[in-house]
Amino acid sequence: MNQMIKILVIEDEKNILNFISSVLTSQKYQVISAVTGRDGLSQAASQCPDLILLDLGLPDMDGMVIIRRIRDWSSTPIIVISARIQEEDKVQALDQGADDYITKPFGNSELLARIRTALRHSNRLQTEAALANRPYHSHGLTIDFEKHLVTRDGQEIHLTQNEFKIVALLAKNSGKVLLYDRLIEHIWGPYSENDNTILRVNMANIRRKIEPDPAEPVYIFTEIGVGYRMAEED
């Protein structure tokens, strides 16, 4: 099945490019590669890949520029693979339109899991609305978007309206990092103050209600300084 999926890897470090290509090929993905930003943009336009793996530190242009240019005409999932570990770089990449961010070094299991998540989310957006609204299930937690109902192991969990909005948005983007700013805008509107305090208070209440142990969450994970990520569906 994976041989039908085409992945473009834009990476100038030969050893990393070879590693990624080997991992993807072993999983029957089609691999296209580019070692410069200019070639990567050309390949993205001509080859129409299903997903793009992008290094930010390319020799001819910054990866942030590539994200912006691709987002001008395409919604193809973009996963950044970078040695930049600063929170501001992660936030900027995600804010520009990247779907995920992996810091080097990384293992093949993590890489493949992130790819599956990005592809699954992309396919979900292309389905009919009724199918896209199917309930979310993960480790005993169920979120029924149409009924506004949350249960864990069959027991109903009572959330406030805003708490449900937060959980529903995260669940519909399960496996992806959602920026603090996006969550705040979605819940409290585009003119709300950019203050994470109210979001953190709501998240603490949500975790107290849905997590078996709020100190060791299994459903909603924090990407420190960036945002939150919901566990992938079963």
- In CATH, the architecture of 2-125 is 3-Layer(aba) Sandwich (3.40)
pLDDT of the residue at 105: 85
CA proximity to 226, closest of 94, 81, 65: 94
Sequence ranges of the chain with CATH classification 1.10.10.10: 129-230
The answer on pLDDT for 123 being more than 80 is no
Q: What is the mean pLDDT of residues 81-109?
A: 88
Is 152 in contact with 141 (CB distance < 8 Å)?
yes
CB distance 166 to 172 below 8 Å = no
Asked if 11 contacts 35 with a C-beta cutoff of 8 angstroms, the reply is yes
The ranges of the chain annotated as CATH 3.40.50.2300 are 2-125
Write the DSSP symbol of residue 2. G
Please report which confidence band the pLDDT of residue 131 belongs to, taking 50, 70 and 90 as the band edges: very low
Residue 190 has pLDDT above 80, yes or no: no
Please give the class, per CATH, of domain 129-230: mainly alpha
Residue 46, pLDDT score: 87
Q: Give residue 61's pLDDT.
A: 92
